[in-house]
Amino acid sequence: MAASQVKKEEQLNLQSLTWGDLTWVDIEHPTEKETEYLAQHYSFHPLDLDDCLSRIQRPKIDEYKDYLFLVLHFPIFNKEARVTTSSQVSVFIGQNYLITLHKGELKPLVKLFKECQIDEQSRQEHFSEGSSYLLYRIIDRLVDYCLPISNKMLDNIEDVEDKIFSNQARSQIREISMLRRDIISFRRIIWPMRAVIGSLEPKARRFAKMDLAVYFGDTVDHLDKIWDALDEYKEIIEGLNDTHDSLATNRTNEVVRILTIIATILLPITLLASIWGMNISLPFQGSSYALLYIILIMIAIIGSMLYFFRRQHWI
């Protein structure tokens, strides 16, 4: 009869959960102590253990005789920096064990382990079909976790789109730039993941008690859906950026046009005032109505120029 066991190693960021002949070891915030523990209890390659502590490691699959080593990246949203960043999950999978190493930032992974700790039915559901099926359930949850992030990104894009055509358009260039950075970061995370997860099922098949091709295929479909959405978001944000630039250019041209008209109108008036301000004998200077005559001449000049501009459709 299958039995379950939960234990936590002393002085190590390590928890293990056993159901039947399958053990899931979960390590949050791995350090050299945890990798030394794994080196003592498993025959893992030293380079794989080093990769678990590496901050920059591309998603990959290393295949060995008795186990597979995976490095996976999944997105998390940094609220302070307002950008999507990647969180690494390292996985060792063998016939009777699954070992996950991560920073504890991926809530679905943490939540799934806790569910299996407290719920016998959840342990039976996830552990009964072997380590490959447990790996699928972990990856599937983490991939589904990408969808709310993607949907939130779409909501932000729609907000910016509405504001561009409102009075708040001038302040949206920063929002557009941050969204573009967010989309680029998200795409950089998802792109290598598609190839890794797409090639995972044939390699992990030996650790499964059932055919998982359909299951992993469904996960790949979800990744493709996310990638297609990011492609669409990229096109939308580039279009919004072009629209914002066009509107800003148009507003600038309008301001320049008005200022040019004002300067053009003031030029002859200034010239007229300068001439009549000279210390020489000029018409109307001796008349008590000289100021009135000059003002009337200025009004006539302004009216004539406005009429000309109107006829030319410049205003």
Percent of all residues in the chain with a pLDDT value above 70, rounded to a whole number:
93
User: Among all chains, which residue has been given the structure tokens 């300067």?
Assistant: 263
Q: What is the pLDDT of residues 243-290, one digit of tens each?
A: 888 888 888 888 898 888 889 888 988 888 888 777 777 776 667 777
What is the SS3 assignment for 115? helix
Round the average pLDDT of the chain to a whole number and report it: 86
For the ranges 6-10, 33-37, 259-263, 292-296, the lowest mean pLDDT is seen at: 6-10
d(CA 285, CA 294): 10
Is the backbone of residue 130 left (phi > 0), alpha (psi -120 to 50) or beta?
Answer: left
Residue 290, pLDDT score: 76
Per the CB < 8 A criterion, the answer to whether 211 and 132 are in contact is: no
Residue 170, pLDDT score: 67
What is the SS3 assignment for 207? helix
Q: What is the pLDDT of residues 23-69, one digit of tens each?
A: 999 999 899 999 999 999 999 999 999 998 887 778 999 999 999 99
In the chain the domains, ranked by start, together with CATH numbers, are 4-248 (3.30.460.20), 250-311 (1.20.58)
pTM: predicted TM-score of the whole model, two decimal places? 0.78
69 forms beta bridges with: 62, 92
